[in-house]
Structure 1
Amino acid sequence: MSHLNFEHDRILVTGGHGFLGTQLCQTLRDRGVTADRLYAPTHAEVELTDEAQVASMYQRFKPDVIFHLAAEVGGIGANQAHPGRFFYANFAMGIHLIEQARIHGLRKFVHCGTVCAYPENATRPFTEDQFWNSYPAPITAPYGIAKLSLGVMLDGYRREYGLQSCMLIPVNLYGPNDNFDLQTAHVMPALIRKFLHAIERGEDTVSVWGSGKASREFLYVTDAADGLIHTADRVDETTPINLGSGRETPIKELAEIIADATGFKGQITWDHDKPDGQPRRCLSMERAHEQLGWSARVPLEQGVEQTVAWCKANQGDIRGWGRADSPASAKVS
């Protein structure tokens, strides 16, 4: 078993300036990883779809452990518009990072997969043994299959080359520093922004894509970072492990929770001409509980309240916050 050593390991985080990556880096620093042993390259510094740049990154930093969080991802609208790009970019990044891990003798590779890889007709709650039963929801399948295929590559590299790795499957994440751009945001930040904008403008209705009947499971970002580190410290093979809260929430209920947290008193309407996305998503947490002894700590209502409070305090720093709402706003993904 290869445990993490926070005092000595050199840790590289791809996507370290993104939503989850920012929180993961902060959590690692809180646990004793010093600045000279923690590297989170920006996209401008390293183009991860370019193998030569990935090789150079390994040579310069010489990591012991990599958390691979970098991804090109978005909501339903973005997945509809860019299925080819989403497959290529996510697959290429992983292929180069894993191959260079083999070449440079990386000790552990931590791969962040996606719930989008589960079959569209998976039995709820989703158990990790269902991935290859059938095809994912078509809209997000290119992204999901690209990420899932990297788990297969890691398993092959473990069996042939001894590369230790683990693969986590987080549900929809949310919290401070999320993406609130309505063109690309997932349902939680999109709804929070919609409700806060409606209050600011004195509007008495908020329109949401779909019927409200679709359900999702949400995990607060600090819980996700803790789960990644906890698993990386205890798992050396790529058997997938779900990371979730264990609570399935219909989008209608989520909208009501967000309305209450923001103080919105108006009417919520539903655009039935827009898609719901996959009808239901909820993960079985049995494997995480039994093998890791891990469970989420932040209840949904508390996490929403904390996220709304952060938005109110940081509106001036949130990219695109003042832009007019787009027709793609508040979509479910």
Structure 2
Amino acid sequence: MTAFTPGRLDRSSPFYVAGHGGLVGSALWRKLTAEGFTKMVGRTSKELDLRNRAAVFAFFERERPRYVALAAAKVGGILANKTYPVDFLSDNVQIQVNVMDAAHRYGVERLLFLGSSCIYPKLAPQPLKEEYLLTGPLEETNEAYAIAKISGIMQVQAVRQQYGLPWISAMPTNLYGPGDNFSAQGSHVLPALIRRFDEARIREEASVTNWGTGAPRREFLHVDDLADACLHLLENYDGPEHVNVGVGEDLTIKELAGLVAATVGYKGAIEWDATKPDGTPRKLMDVRKLESLGWTARISLKEGIESTYAWFEDNRNGVRD
């Protein structure tokens, strides 16, 4: 591999954010714009279907980005993953392969691939270290999505090995923030709780029933912190191993529900349906590698939930159903 030293990215070079309209992509777009990048490149899924290989190659040939953040993905919660495993596997693999192959063909210097903490085995030791990848069976409820993301990590490593390009991967923990998916069927746990408790407050419902026991522990990272970490990694890290991005602290889903209910102003009873799946018992990231590179999260969970709920209230009529 050709020697490469990470450093400040050229703010005047074209930077393509794949998935710039999504939760992660929009946060990256905000961060990069605020940092002075002047040639931002983005396309909606209607403008460019990243599953269409010919269209992706034509786009890269035309735009010639120097940097790429691959944040485009088909994502969803436990129900969506269990119901549509083919979509989560096929769509995500196609997106990743097409973008990375085109990025190599047209000379992308730095590419950051974004995955998910679900890449780790269901019963891996806690906290989750980068080295635990591929050491045990995955969580069944999102196995297809996890396999797709693992293939993305492998492709980045293969590009580094075969072509010597300084591409990297980052694996964020559970994310939330403005622009999240608040749909009843496709959202992750935190936005789902915000919407559920908000609707229960408006309807003055006596109780709210959530899936599972509430016992699993989860870690949550505000998407603006993730965006900050992504730029930090692009300018400070080069290596084949993916890097965990998280806060290094977790709480139970039951505790999270209480925090969301208090933020929303719901005062009814909170109940649990233990017949529904809990998912992985615990997913806490070991973030010592990222901390050794000089980065730590700054937005507290309480502050983040409050700002996310404020965004939800301002955009209530425009969120996804």
- Maintained 8 Å contact 2:193/2:260: yes
1:22 CA displacement:
0.8
For 1:252-291, list aligned pairs within 5 A: 252-290=254-292
Aligned mates of 2:129, 2:9 — CA distance in 1: 31
For 1:119-158, list aligned pairs within 5 A: 119-158=121-160
Asked if residue 315 in structure 1 is aligned to residue 316 in structure 2, the reply is yes
For 1:180-191, list aligned pairs within 5 A: 180-191=182-193
Aligned mates of 1:211, 1:56 — CA distance in 2: 49
- Maintained 8 Å contact 1:165/1:235: no
Tell me the residue number matched to 2:33.
Answer: 29
> Can you list the C-alpha shifts for 1:63-111, whole angstroms capped at 9, x where unaligned?
0011000111111111111111211111111111111222111101100
Aligned mates of 1:256, 1:222 — CA distance in 2: 23
Secondary structure of 2:282's counterpart equals coil
For 1:163-202, list aligned pairs within 5 A: 163-202=165-204
Tell me the residue number matched to 1:67.
Answer: 69
Tell me the residue number matched to 1:9.
Answer: 13
The letter of the residue matching 2:86 is G
> Can you list the C-alpha shifts for 1:11-64, whole angstroms capped at 9, x where unaligned?
001110001111110111101112xx1111111111111211110110111000
Aligned mates of 1:118, 1:271 — CA distance in 2: 26
Secondary structure of 2:148's counterpart equals helix
1:6 CA displacement:
4.3
Aligned mates of 1:312, 1:47 — CA distance in 2: 31
The letter of the residue matching 1:7 is R
Q: CA RMSD in A?
A: 1.1
TM-score, normalisation: structure 2? 0.96
1:4 CA displacement:
4.3
Aligned mates of 1:124, 1:2 — CA distance in 2: 30
Tell me the residue number matched to 1:101.
Answer: 103
Aligned mates of 1:107, 1:50 — CA distance in 2: 23
Secondary structure of 2:167's counterpart equals strand
Structure 1's unaligned 5+ residue stretches are: 321-333
Aligned mates of 1:98, 1:308 — CA distance in 2: 35
Tell me the residue number matched to 2:81.
Answer: 79
Aligned mates of 1:45, 1:312 — CA distance in 2: 29
Tell me the residue number matched to 1:330.
Answer: none
Secondary structure of 1:181's counterpart equals coil
1:243 to 242, 245, 248: 245
- Maintained 8 Å contact 1:137/1:278: yes
Aligned residues: 317
Tell me the residue number matched to 2:91.
Answer: 89
Structure 2's unaligned 5+ residue stretches are: none
Secondary structure of 1:47's counterpart equals coil
> Can you list the C-alpha shifts for 1:110-150, whole angstroms capped at 9, x where unaligned?
00011111001110000000001112101211111111112
